[in-house]
Structure 1
């Protein structure tokens, strides 16, 4: 009977954690923010320079998102202020929910997450401006464990799989990751 209950809890926990495998950092401001409009027409800039700056800022936001989510997951802190520093809704809410549910089941993430992101599209003329990112996440050494006894949660094994994210430029000029998906059916 106890084995069946543990299996059910592990399956529920795995389903929650599979939805959002990583978390991010934040500034502590938890204000609903709206994406930024396209640059004003009167402003003249070199499109290549603007594109490179957008790519760099989006990749920095993505890297911050991964680092912040790892930190929040290790601490089992879904309200970690660093999450909102790099994330915006709806992804921010999904990450917080994932961490909260893992905590409720007595689990936490530990280990190393390897990432090698690339920019796949830049849309600076869009309203709001966006940058699409693709990554091959290696979660082989990034485990979901029970906090109490450090046992690995059954069925939570990692691997290498495709992950996608979108960074959006907000009115204050920050690039935040506001959507993302893990494609566990697409190994890389």
Structure 2
């Protein structure tokens, strides 16, 4: 009976944790439903140099987000300070809750995660400025394991799939990843 409860808890945990620490899995509608602010007549178009700087900063924030979430997941530390260096709400809270849930169920993430992100949209004229990122994540070597004995949580195997994220420029000039979605039904 206890084994069945643990297996059921592990499956529920997997549904929540499998992609959130990796991509901040959301409904997939955060970036789609958010209205873009129309360009005002007095606003000049962003220069190529500004666009390139925004792309570079957004990709650095995304890379930092993946590294910070892997480290925090491996340590089972939902309040790891590096998370807030690269993430903003609502994604920050979802990642923290996912790591906390894994910890409460005696699990953590281990292994490597391969990433190949690219910028798809730069919206410097919106308020706030945003950059949309698309990634092909390879999670085949990134596993959810039981902390106690390092056994792989059943059903936690990963694969290659599409992920999207939004980097937002905050008033202090920092670019932070504020939303993200995993698309496990879309292999890459």
**Interval containing the TM-score (normalised by the shorter chain):** 0.7 to 0.9
2:176 paired residue number: 176
- Retained in 2: the 8 A contact 1:23–1:83? no
Residue 31 of structure 1 corresponds to: none
Give the gaps of 5 or more residues in structure 2: 25-36
- Structure 1 residue matching 2:57: 3-state secondary structure: helix
RMSD between superposed Cα atoms in Å: 2.3
Q: Give the equivalent residue in structure 2 for 1:122.
A: 122
Gaps of 5+ in 1: 25-36
Q: Secondary structure at the match of 1:84?
A: helix
Contact 1:22 1:66 in 2 (8 A): yes
| Partner residue, 1:50 | 50
| CA drift at 1:43 | 9.7
Equivalent pairs counted in the alignment come to 175
Aligned partner of 1:95 in structure 2 is 95
Query: Superposition pairs for residues 134-153 of structure 1, below 5 Å?
Result: 134-153=134-153
What is the TM-score of this pair, normalised by structure 1?
0.87
2:71: which partner in 1?
A: 71
Asked if 1 retains the 8 angstrom alpha-carbon contact of 2:21 and 2:70, the reply is no
What does residue 6 of structure 1 align with?
6
Please give the TM-score of this superposition, normalised by the length of structure 2: 0.87
SS of the residue corresponding to residue 136 of structure 1 reads strand
Q: Tell me the SS of whatever aligns to 2:52.
A: helix
Measured after TM superposition, the shift of residue 3 of structure 1 is 2.8
Secondary structure at the aligned position of 1:187 is classed as coil
Who is 2:16 aligned against? 16
Judge conservation of contact 1:74–1:108 (CA < 8 Å) in 2: yes
